[in-house]
Amino acid sequence: MIRDRGRIKWTSMMLPEHVKLLRDWAEEDTYEQKRELDEQKFEYMNEILSEAMEFQKSVTLTHYRGRNYELVIGSIHYWDELGQKLHIVDRFGEIHRISINAIADARFTEE
């Protein structure tokens, strides 16, 4: 079995610019594409968000931010009609402002 140094062996012969481009290219592979939602999913999320605002229920939102999906668990504090953003207060008291177009999934949180 041949045991060599793998990639380390070849990077010493590469220019630093090429090494940086290869690292950037490998990082881009971890990015997620934003998924398009259908009308039924929008209607379902609308019902959940409306009920959560009315009865102060805790929700789990999956939203697209910075080329990846993130989870936010908390209660909806305010709906900004002009900016089309939800203001959510999480369990630690931090306020998250999430655009309604970035939300991919909404569910009630069982506590």
| Domain residue ranges in the chain | 56-110
- pLDDT tens profile 2-38: 666 666 666 667 788 888 888 888 888 878 888 788 8
pLDDT value, residue 9: 62
Q: What is the DSSP code string of 15-71?
A: -HHHHHHHHHHHHHTT--PPPPP-HHHHHHHHHHHHHHHHHT-EEEEEEEETTEEEE
The fold adopted by the segment(s) 56-110 is SH3 type barrels. (2.30.30)
pLDDT value, residue 55: 93
pLDDT value, residue 32: 80
- The rounded radius of gyration (Å) of the Cα atoms in the chain is 21
Q: Please, which residues bridge with residue 64 across strands?
A: 69
* pLDDT over 80 (residue 79): yes
* pLDDT over 70 (residue 41): yes
Higher-pLDDT residue of 14 and 68 is: 68
